[in-house]
């Protein structure tokens, strides 16, 4: 079976899974039975290919990136917005596609949280070491005394999970709908298009209101949920192998740091490899190739 055939089957599996989770199909027992049968057939085919050593994606080309403002209030949310811009610019330079799955913005134009799907050649491999606590040291525009503030932003990068990578049974999720809202909590949609998915076994909750339609938001939320559950599965496998688990996000406290962006000294330092780079603005404009390459060398 070719790689294209495998990817086609994986896409069909996703469509069938969505139908099995949709109540309107459950009202037709015969149709539901046909869908369930086809779903089982495809799962068996893909499982056989996996055992034979075939790859579902031909290399991980898609990553889920989560950016969250940590300690520092408005300044943390503004830096989260700047990191979003940095990664978006980097993605553009590499010809990658960036899709917003979920976002929560603040009244000052910053980000409380945003979740992205980034797809393109070597996207996951290039971005995986961006996970961690990013600390910024600078003088905020609102600071009149010239005092340097320290704030943090948490970044997590996960491989995008396909339905074949992680199975979520329809009975294991609860789906709630609500009206989408903007900064400050005001309703921006008269219909209940936003979706909240609860994974009952773990208690994990994922919400999305980016799409205009309820079905779109449901698919976006499920994409995030699958990737988070896949990461949990991988962490558990690492534990069983006796390897040290590396925390992706941390608590977002000021004392935690993966990388520090020191604007007054025009210096960025990655504390994992104890290496620094100058010209902060150039890096914030998406020129992070040298950082990415240095971190990849650490892995090898």
Q: What is the pLDDT of residues 108-143, one digit of tens each?
A: 889 999 999 999 999 998 998 999 999 999 998 777
DSSP state of 73: T
The two three-digit tokens of residue 114, written as one number: 């945003």
> What's residue 42's pLDDT?
81
CA distances from 247 to 65, 79, 125 (A): 15, 21, 18
pLDDT band at 3 (very low <50, low <70, confident <90, very high): low
Q: How many CB atoms lie within 10 A of CB 225?
A: 22
Burial 122-136 (b: 16+ CB within 10 A, else e): ebbbbbbbbbbbbbb
State pTM to two decimals: 0.64
How long a stretch of residues is the chain?
Answer: 300
pLDDT band at 50 (very low <50, low <70, confident <90, very high): low
pLDDT band at 164 (very low <50, low <70, confident <90, very high): low
> What's residue 20's pLDDT?
67
pLDDT band at 253 (very low <50, low <70, confident <90, very high): low
Q: Is the pLDDT of residue 78 over 60?
A: yes
Tens digit of each residue's pLDDT (9 = 90 or more) over 198-224: 999 999 999 998 888 898 899 899 999
**Dihedral pair phi/psi, residue 65, rounded to 5°:** -115, 130
Between CA 168 and CA 111 the distance in angstroms is: 30
CA distances from 127 to 61, 91, 114 (A): 11, 10, 16
Walk across the sheet containing 173-178 and list its strands: 173-178, 194-199, 204-208
pLDDT band at 246 (very low <50, low <70, confident <90, very high): very low
Residue linked to tokens 């074949």? 164
Exposed, middle or buried: residue 109 (CB in 10 Å: 0-12, 13-18, 19+)? exposed
**Dihedral pair phi/psi, residue 74, rounded to 5°:** -60, -40
- Choose between 90 and 17: higher pLDDT: 90
pLDDT band at 225 (very low <50, low <70, confident <90, very high): very high
Exposed, middle or buried: residue 184 (CB in 10 Å: 0-12, 13-18, 19+)? exposed
């Amino acid at each position: 079976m070719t790689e294209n055939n495998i990817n086609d089957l994986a896409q069909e599996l996703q469509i069938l899974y969505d139908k099995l989770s949709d109540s309107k199909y459950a009202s037709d027992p015969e149709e539901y039975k046909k869908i369930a049968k086809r779903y089982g057939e495809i799962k068996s085919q893909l499982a056989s290919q996996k055992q034979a050593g075939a790859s579902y994606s031909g290399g991980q080309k898609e990553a889920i990136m989560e950016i969250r403002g940590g300690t520092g209030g408005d300044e943390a949310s503004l830096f989260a917005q700047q990191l979003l811009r940095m990664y978006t610019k980097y993605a553009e330079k590499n010809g990658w596609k960036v899709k917003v799955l979920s976002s929560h913005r603040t009244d000052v134009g910053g980000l409380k949280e945003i979740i992205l799907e980034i797809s393109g050649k070597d996207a996951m491999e290039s971005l995986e070491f961006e996970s961690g606590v990013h600390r910024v040291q600078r003088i905020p525009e609102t600071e009149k005394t010239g005092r340097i503030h320290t704030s943090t932003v948490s970044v997590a990068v996960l491989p995008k999970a396909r339905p074949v990578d992680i199975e979520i049974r329809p009975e294991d999720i609860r789906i709630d709908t609500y009206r989408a809202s903007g900064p400050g909590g005001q309703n921006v949609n008269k219909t209940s298009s936003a979706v909240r998915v609860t994974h009952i076994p773990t208690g994990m909750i994922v919400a999305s209101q980016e799409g205009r339609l309820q079905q779109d938001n449901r698919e976006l939320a499920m994409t995030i949920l699958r990737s988070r559950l896949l990461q949990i599965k991988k962490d558990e496998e690492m534990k069983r192998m006796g390897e040290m688990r590396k925390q992706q996000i941390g608590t977002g406290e000021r004392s935690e740091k993966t990388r520090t962006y020191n604007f007054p000294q025009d210096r960025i330092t990655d504390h994992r490899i104890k290496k620094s780079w100058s010209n902060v603005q150039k890096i914030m404009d998406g020129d992070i190739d040298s950082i990415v390459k240095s971190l990849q060398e650490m892995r090898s």
